[in-house]
Amino acid sequence: MGSKWVLSASIWICASAFAAGGHHHGEGQLEIALDGNRLDVNLVAPGADLAGVSTAGNSLLTIDQGGCTGFDVTASEVEVDHGHSDITLTQSFECTRPAAIGGIRVSLFDWAPSLEAVEVVYLSDDTTVATELTPATPVLALDD
Ligand SMILES: [Zn+2]
């Protein structure tokens, strides 16, 4: 029966994707907040995906239009269970024309290749967008 196959498939997905501590290897959470000319980025992902990855010279995002300049990425690590940690990466941008921002690409995927997906929340004065981005679909399109 089809339903039996679906059940066993979902058990397999849980067993392979879930790790101790409640995070999922390969998955991160990304918050992007635009406030005036300042855009703040906060990413939380499993240490397993970011260990050994250098932030030097790298940017979390590539911003289309908007005249945005990125500052250095900073990192902090918190252990969530034995042998498992979450790493938080933060970065700020100064944008001279924030209203002109057309799209935001998650360039993090280029230098943290084991990440398979990020849950993204984008907040500004007049927009809230929540979506999932992946290496195959890394761009958050902002229409206005
Ligand atoms: Zn882990």
CA dist., res. 121 & res. 128, Å (int): 7
Angle at 125 between CA 123 and CA 57, to 5 degrees: 50
Task: For residue range 84-124, list pLDDT tens digits in order.
Answer: 999 999 999 999 999 999 999 999 999 999 999 999 999 99
The CA 144 to ligand 1 mean position distance, Å, reads 38
In the reported structure, the alpha carbon of residue 28 is separated from the centroid of ligand 1 by a whole-number distance in angstroms of: 12
Whether the predicted pLDDT of 16 surpasses 80? no
Is this structure's pTM higher than 0.85?
no
Question: How close is the Cα of 102 to the center of ligand 1, in Å?
Answer: 34
Do 142 and 64 meet the contact criterion of CB atoms below 8 Å apart? no
CA angle 106–107–111, rounded 5-degree value: 130
Q: Rounded to whole angstroms, how far apart are CA atoms 19 and 15? A: 8
105 CA to centre of ligand 1 in angstroms: 26
Statement: residue 1 has pLDDT above 60: no
20 CA from centroid of ligand 1 (Å):
6
Q: List the chain domain ranges.
A: 2-141
Quick check: helix, strand or coil at residue 4?
Answer: helix
